[in-house]
Amino acid sequence: MKKVIILGASDGLGKSIAGLCIDEKIEVINVSRTPSNVSGVINIACDLSKQEDIDNTVKAIKEKYNDFDAIINCAAIVAMEKINEISYSKFEKAFKINTIAPLYFLSSLFDNIVKNEADILNIGTTADLKAGFVDQLAYTSTKYGLRGGSYNLGLELSKTKSRMIYVHCGGMNTQMHEKDYGKKIEDPTEWMDTKDVAGIVFYLLRLPKQVEITEITISRKGRRLM
Ligand SMILES: NC(=O)c1ccc[n+]([C@@H]2O[C@H](COP(=O)([O-])OP(=O)(O)OC[C@H]3O[C@@H](n4cnc5c(N)ncnc54)[C@H](OP(=O)(O)O)[C@@H]3O)[C@@H](O)[C@H]2O)c1
């Protein structure tokens, strides 16, 4: 891998993956609203809830960074309203960012992905296994959509050299829940470190090209879903 595009490398897991890539001399193009402060990362400002921003980002990638080897999608928001309190606008926003944006982005770059023999890695959640969690109807639904879209992309890529990897990721020590809901993590030692998950993502992408792990679950210890 020489060049990687990351959706959402300004924070959390994406930022840790970006750091790992830079350490390994891999060029990183970050796509998010705020720039990544990881030194050496190239930033493209993009609000993934806006089609125009996505189209401009795709255009910039085709013009300047077309020789990418992988696209890693870490961008998402949580949506954790109580079942009878979810607003239409929250449903819409969560679907736009978590589901439509990455799938539309990937389909817009599909021909380039195939030509480059590039891999795709989408970060899902353990909420998109079985029923998900209470108070997460919108979030669970968006990630099930991402999961379904990833299967379809995998099908489209099955006769190519590109791989589609889907990660059901459990709870990590990030500020994701705090940003929108003010929910602080009480005991960070019980949550996964993004650096450890980033290492697994990196391992998956660096497997020999004839090996394809299509789907993997990474859980916090003791939180496996039955
Ligand atoms: N944290 C957990 O416990 C947990 C558990 C299971 C699964 N996951 C999944 O893991 C992935 C990473 O989560 P995280 O905890 O690292 O989240 P995070 O720290 O909140 O980072 C989210 C990233 O998404 C970007 N993003 C959000 N809204 C955006 C928008 N409208 N346009 C462009 N970029 C946007 C953010 O960039 P800007 O704000 O700069 O735009 C940021 O770089 C997500 O897919 C999440 O669903 C997380």
Distance 8 CA to ligand 1 centre (A): 6
Phi and psi at 19, nearest 5°, equal: -60, -40
Check residue 87 and give its pLDDT.
Answer: 96
Residue closest via CA to ligand 1's atom 26 equals 75
H helices, E strands: number in the chain? 8, 7
Q: What is the pLDDT of residues 178-211, one digit of tens each?
A: 998 999 999 999 999 999 999 999 999 999 999 9
Ligand 1 geometric centre to CA of 210 (Å): 30
Range 68-87 average pLDDT: 97
Dist. CA 182–CA 126, nearest whole Å: 21
Instruction: Give me the phi and psi of 91, to 5 degrees please.
Output: -55, -50
What 3-state DSSP class applies to 59? helix
For residue 224, the model assigns a pLDDT of 80
Report pLDDT digits (tens) over 150-170.
999 999 999 999 999 999 999
132: pLDDT strictly greater than 90: no
User: 3-class SS at 198?
Assistant: helix
Q: CA angle at residue 170 from 223 to 203, to 5 degrees?
A: 120
Closest CA to 110 of 68, 142, 75, 143: 68
| Cβ of residue 172 lying under 6 Å from some atom of ligand 1 | yes
- Ligand 1: does its nearest atom lie under 6 Å from the Cβ of 16? no
Domain 3-218 superfamily per CATH:
NAD(P)-binding Rossmann-like Domain (3.40.50.720)
% helix / strand / coil in the chain, to the nearest 5? 45, 15, 40
pLDDT in tens, 16-48: 999 999 999 999 999 999 999 999 999 999 999
Q: Is the CB of 115 under 6 A from ligand 1?
A: no
80 Cβ below 6 A of ligand 1: no
Ligand 1 binding pocket includes 97 (Cβ within 6 Å): yes
Interatomic CA distance for residues 181 and 169, integer angstroms: 20
For tokens 């791989």, name the residue: 163
Alpha carbons 14 and 73: distance in angstroms, whole number: 8
Pairing of strands 215-218, 70-73: unpaired
pLDDT band at 130 (very low <50, low <70, confident <90, very high): confident
Say which residues have a Cβ less than 8 Å from residue 151's Cβ, sequence separation at least 6: 166
Cβ(175) – ligand 1 distance below 6 Å? yes
List alpha helices for 80-210, DSSP H.
88-95, 101-108, 110-116, 137-157, 176-181, 194-206
Comparing C-alpha atoms, which of 3, 50, 10, 52 is closest to residue 31? 10
Structure confidence at residue 226 (pLDDT): 60
> pLDDT tens digits, residue range 40-76?
999 999 999 999 999 999 999 999 999 999 999 999 9
SS3 call for 51: helix
- Give the C-alpha separation, 167 to 169, whole Å: 6
Asked if pLDDT for residue 81 goes beyond 70, the answer is yes
